[in-house]
Amino acid sequence: MRTRPRGDAGQAFPIYIMMVAGLLFLALAFFAVGKASALRNGSQGAADAAALAAAQQARDDFGPGFYASLRDNMLDAFLIEPFDAPCSEAQRLASANDADHRLCYPTPGYLRDRITVEVEGRKPVDSPVLPGSQNKKAKAKATALIEFSCPNPKAVDSNSDGVQDLFIFTCRNGEIVEIPPAGPPPWESVSRTLFDVRLVDQ
């Protein structure tokens, strides 16, 4: 009857320990990558929400200037006029999604304005297998477009006195909006038809 040398068991034990340590390291690494990916997705969601919120607030703020431009027959000038990005609204939505906005700026353009927001998540990756991850936070950027959807309105001078007393907007979705400059409708009732807000690629 043959017996197994006692030394074999002693030699296998360090190999077993190394295998367990390697598997533990891989598990921690996979966890760190998964956490980083989840934080990145969360930051991107916060950036998207912040950019949309800022763009929607900017659209809400367009009302007085838009109606004044109709009364003065200066709509084209209004559509290229620089505007302020409501960055406080961007911060409000970023904060609601556990992030803070770091950049927020508008890019005016004829018929198509943009607002870009960059955010940083508040939670670090903080993994023992990733050096420096204690202070590493996810960043993301999003841009929202404010597009004038009803170009080339028809101006009507019903009294033939040289004053335009009605503007008829035919929008891309087929909807028609009639605005008398002397008595315009509440801005919230027409703003979403006149100006479309959506996310766009960087």
Report the distance separating Cα 125 and Cα 101, nearest Å. Answer: 18
Taking 70 as the threshold, does the pLDDT of residue 33 lie above it?
A: no
User: DSSP secondary structure string, 11-33?
Assistant: HHHHHHHHHHHHHHHHHHHHHHH
3-state secondary structure of 92: helix
Res 11: pLDDT: 64
Contact between residue 121 and residue 137 where contact means Cβ atoms under 8 Å apart = yes
Type of residue found at 194: L
Residue range 143-202, pLDDT digits in tens: 999 999 999 999 998 777 778 899 999 999 899 999 999 999 999 999 999 999 999 986
Res 93: pLDDT: 95
* Chain center to CA of 183: 35
Residue range 53-109, pLDDT digits in tens: 999 999 999 999 999 999 998 999 999 999 999 999 999 999 999 999 999 999 998
CB atoms within 10 A of CB 110: 10
Tokens of 108: 């005016």
10 Å CB burial of residue 23 (0-12, 13-18, 19+) is: exposed
pTM of the model: 0.79
Q: How far from 73 is each of 11, 76, 128, CA to CA, in Å?
A: 91, 8, 64
79 forms beta bridges with: none
Res 162: pLDDT: 78
Taking 70 as the threshold, does the pLDDT of residue 25 lie above it?
A: no
